Homo-oligomer: A and B are copies of this chain.
């Protein structure tokens, strides 16, 4: 018998019928003798409905009142799920973030959890109840309602699992778990039964958006075993290991992530002096543009090329900034390529396996794909290539590194 925290997102609780299904799933765990704490999001669509109401009233609502407003979404779900569990014959009790209480700092709409009081949860669990907690929300030290920002319910679940020293934190989503790559691109992409935290961090930040990166970091920090699985289909999902597997058995590559809709900017012939990267990247970041890959290469003649990628939607603004910098920096040229993408191999096994990078470059060369930028980290190699080659690159790399599902029979998943 163990203590499990389960989190169900907005789609999983999107209707009365789905909430009843969640209650049945939770009930199965109770029947197996486990103690269960359930964290839920607002019903899908509800947060948008509330945000739209606020927008009709005020162009810039106060963050404090946005939190009062949006936190009602999860409060509705906890009550309905408690009713559904009782109706299925399980004792249940609901708590808002303030009732628990989940103490946060006072940064409204993006608060951080500071502490969780566990007394009331432990008491209710001891008396045999399923405890249902509103995700995404807390209170500051003055009792003001706060919310945790996007993906906050995942964070609530992991934080509760950590505070209660629970055996597992299960995040239910609309996918079966974490795949070697996007199954929509590579048909025989394989569901991973295990993955390390580092790999998950790289994969989730690179486009396999199964879990909020913040929740993964939190779980890694507090060593909470995290499992991603489907609300709608049976299956063990993917366990994100706290300690990492034994390196002997580790495959070199866990998966392939990719990012579409990138754009590449290049400023060439700038002087090779300290601080030049900051002079180029600084103004772009300050304009609120997220910079992804950054590559700098100094030429023998003492001049310098700096290339970086941004989201395609931001590329024209970034270009204007570079243009305005060009004469001050005595740059030769500013260039923009709007049609690039990024493909990354991710795997902690890279550390102990030589030759992964050259194998990757060989595979892409064989397909006639030109590599424009390369960056590497301990557990990741990313290349920026022409966007039209994205699918070809991902599929051929998936095959080269033998990531396919050996049981794949050609049917859809």
Q: For residue A65, which residues in chain B have a CB less than 8 angstroms away from its CB?
A: 79-80, 82-83, 86, 94
Contact B62 A69 (CB under 8 A): no
Interface 1/0s, chain A 142-154, versus B by CB < 8 A?
0111000000000
Q: Taking the nearest CB of chain B, how far is it from the CB of A91, in angstroms?
A: 10
Q: For residue A64, which residues in chain B have a CB less than 8 angstroms away from its CB?
A: 93
Contact A76 B50 (CB under 8 A): yes
**Distance between Cα atoms of A275 and B144 in the complex (Å):** 57
Number of identical protomers: 2
Contact B72 A78 (CB under 8 A): no
Interface flag for A87 (CB, 8 Å):
yes
Q: For residue A62, which residues in chain B have a CB less than 8 angstroms away from its CB?
A: 82-83, 86
10 tightest A-B CB contacts, nearest first: A69-B79, A16-B56, A72-B72, A58-B87, A68-B79, A61-B83, A58-B83, A65-B79, A65-B82, A72-B75
Task: Please report whether the interface of chain A is mostly helix, strand, loop or mixed according to DSSP.
Answer: helix
Per the CB 8 Å criterion, the residue count for chain A at the interface is: 38
Q: For residue A93, which residues in chain B have a CB less than 8 angstroms away from its CB?
A: 64
Query: 4 new A-B pairs (CB below 8 Å) besides A54-B79, A61-B83, A61-B86?
Result: A16-B53, A62-B83, A62-B86, A69-B76
Q: Which residues of A contact B (CB under 8 A)?
A: 16-17, 19-20, 50, 53-54, 56-59, 61-62, 64-66, 68-69, 71-72, 75-76, 78-80, 82-84, 86-87, 93-94, 96, 98-99, 143-145
Q: For residue A71, which residues in chain B have a CB less than 8 angstroms away from its CB?
A: 75
Interface centre among A72, A82, A83, A99, by most chain B C-beta atoms within 10 angstroms, is A83
Contact A143 B99 (CB under 8 A): yes
Q: Taking the nearest CB of chain B, how far is it from the CB of A354, in angstroms?
A: 58
**Distance between Cα atoms of A86 and B60 in the complex (Å):** 9
Contact A20 B72 (CB under 8 A): no
Contact B94 A80 (CB under 8 A): no
Query: Which residue of chain B has the shortest Cβ distance to A134 in the bound complex?
Result: B68
Q: Taking the nearest CB of chain B, how far is it from the CB of A204, in angstroms?
A: 31
Q: For residue A56, which residues in chain B have a CB less than 8 angstroms away from its CB?
A: 16-17
**Distance between Cα atoms of A99 and B101 in the complex (Å):** 13
